[in-house]
Structure 1
Amino acid sequence: IRFVDRQDGLEKIENFDYVLAATGRNPNVKDLGLWNTTLELDSTGVPIFDPFTMQCGDSSIFIAGDANNVLTLLHEAADEGLIAGENAGCFPNMKQGLRRSPLSIVFSDPQIAMVGQAWAELEGHENVVVGKISFEGQGRSRVMLKNKGLMHLYADRESGLFLGSEFIGPHAEHLAHLLSWAHQQKMSIPQMLEMPFYHPVIEEGLRTGLKDVNLQLNL
């Protein structure tokens, strides 16, 4: 593979047995001639649009899915397509569509998941507290021989509102869905702790992390 090393800026050639190509992709809009329109375009040539109506500027043009290059995920594309289609059909009588809590999952082993706001968005905010749970000592994870991973949970110190989570660990896809539902319902950490937790399950690890957050709240 020929590549440019970001650390020293030099072009290098190396041999590998396997390659995981996760370099991203660009929306295929360059041949649409959008520069001939009055639409305002971003640096990649994609029209500036309203994420709640999918309308490009003040025009009758709507953009959805991978074409807008924001959240290139199937469930997001389906939502955007519905919003764009309904508003295009009703134009100019548009309405804002439902946008769900951010949810991303990487199907690796162990799995990786992100829900709600990421630490990159929250870092530096003095009212944000972080709860942590290692899966190394989590009971069910140990029995399954899958006790590897770490979870961070973010909440507002004053209101207790659950803000988001980032983690790597066993069955992260299922934990991520529980957390995304709580995030979309705007639940607080105490409210989440009122939910049932069976024994022995991996979700008990989530409860441990929620308790860690709860101890840091000013409630």
Structure 2
Amino acid sequence: MTKIMIADDDEYIRELVGTLLKNDGFTVCEAVNGEDALCKIESEKPMLCIIDIMMPKMDGFELCRQIRRSYGEMPLLMLTAKAEISQKVKGFSLGTDDYLTKPFEPQELIARVNALLRRYKVMTAQSVQIGNIIIDQESHTVEIGGEKSDIPLKEFELLFVLAGRPGRTFLRDKLIEDIWGYDFDGNERTLDVHINRLRERFPAETSGFKITTIRGLGYRLEAVK
């Protein structure tokens, strides 16, 4: 079961967030400030941390910096009482993955947590093989017929997600959320454009797979013989 750490000096917030997460099937560990969180991460081994910015002893910004230094790409979701651009810029520069402004809607908290965990699982996988190609996450290259090639980052991430679960239908909204982020507000045709580019770049007869449109739902990648 996935464990999530809540680092917040406000007991009410810890209880609220903890209840929401437990109701959605997560386990929870708590920290009352940044120093407490940093001490507990090694023993508790959470998959994701929800971090309040304003905490005594060590604030959320410094905690974020320390986690990135010691624990790499662990997903981090920051909570802030104000929707200030300067705070968001500082947080992102230190390595946070997402922001949520208090007060927040319970459904949005859970949606953001799930989106971050999905993106993390994709990011930490090493390679995927489907059909005649090998997709290597570490080098961000695609190998076909013994030759490696680079493709644009978003195309790579999209292909990696689809190929990681061949035969599964991915909903359009979930693909956009996983690849471009929860707050993506770009053109809704962006996903379709990237799918078409992948189809042109990797025709079924040479790649050994095809990307099928599931009308009204999304896309599915399948191996072909």
Q: How does the TM-score come out when normalised to structure 1? A: 0.32
Structure of higher RCO (CA pairs closer than 8 Å, 6+ residues apart): 1
Structure number with the higher strand fraction is 2
Structure with the larger helix share:
2
TM-score by length of 2: 0.31
Bigger Cα Rg: 1
